[in-house]
Amino acid sequence: MPDHIDPDAYVPRYYQLANILREQILAGNLEAHQPISSERELEKIYKVSRTTIRPAIDLLVRQGFLYREHGKGTFVSPPKLQKGISELTSFTEDMKRRGIVPGQKILLIGYVEPPEKVRFQLELGKHVQEVLCVDRLRLGDGAPMGLQTSYYNLPDGLSFTREELEEIGSIYALLREKLHLIPTEADETLEVTVASPHEASLLRVEAGSPLLLSQRTTYSQTRKVFEFAKILYRGDRYRYFAKLTR
């Protein structure tokens, strides 16, 4: 890990500085509630202007690593505030972060006529006849974790095959690399429901067991809705995390 800022680097200086400071915090060089160097000191230390320092600190404040107090200084947040904000992640990433090995069984992949609800969520016009649908059983450490049904509104007849999905594993990775589609924002709702006999048998629980239903619409970098995904999580195996701010 570099301890200085390269003015000619490809990444912006404020970003380099944020990385340096974050590393120091995570390495434990700085105690919780301890002040970091003042902005004017950081100017001298890293030979960058305060105009560069501030966005770096802004970033770390938003990420929960630091907090400012006007007239007093900038301080290190206690460890509990340092992890897990409301980040948009795929099931695969989510599991990895929890230290669980993700897996999946593809139940169905192909074009279907969208139900009215999906048509609404994907903001489809009346002329759109079919959308790509992927039905998957999601696994965590080999055992059923959830049941996911996703619908995709892809640009201009672009698509992918079952083989490609099986090879890469993550639809998000596939969309990013093959179609240059990057999820940037999503609206999610969570509610409870109970397992139908069919869902129960796939998830290996009793019919009528409580499930957590997540429904998400995902926006690409061009601000278009491209995905509507429903995931039914097993109530006994999944817990949702969120970080709230004022």
- The residues binding a second copy (CB under 8 A) are 33, 64, 67, 75, 77-78, 80-81, 84-89, 182-194, 210-212, 216-217, 219, 223, 235, 238-246
Residue 12's CB is within 10 A of a number of other CB atoms, namely 13
Shortest separation between residue 151's beta carbon and a second copy, angstroms: 17
In the three-class reduction of DSSP (H, G, I as helix; E, B as strand; rest coil), residue 232 is classed as strand
Shortest separation between residue 67's beta carbon and a second copy, angstroms: 6
**Position 177, amino acid:** E
Identify what 243 binds: a second copy, DNA, none; CB under 5 to 8 Å per kind.
Answer: a second copy
CA pair distance 43, 38, nearest whole angstrom: 9
Chain residues 29-48 in contact with DNA, contact rule CB under 7 A: 35-36, 38-41, 47-48
CA pair distance 229, 175, nearest whole angstrom: 15
Shortest separation between residue 58's beta carbon and a second copy, angstroms: 9
Shortest separation between residue 169's beta carbon and a second copy, angstroms: 20
- Lookup: tokens for 244: 């709230």
Identify what 84 binds: DNA, a second copy, none; CB under 5 to 8 Å per kind.
Answer: a second copy
Complex with a second copy: residue 6 or 206, whichever CB lies closer: 206
Q: Per rule CB under 7 A, is residue 93 in the interface with DNA?
A: no
Residues 6+ apart with CB under 8 A from 184: 88, 219, 220, 221
**Axis crossing angle, helix 39-46 with helix 50-62, rounded to the nearest 10:** 110
Identify what 245 binds: DNA, a second copy, none; CB under 5 to 8 Å per kind.
Answer: a second copy
The window from 13-21, 90-98, 113-121, 162-170 that contacts DNA (CB under 7 A) reads: 13-21
Per-residue exposure over 28-46, b if at least 16 CB sit within 10 Å of its own CB, e if not: eebeeeeebeebeebbeeb
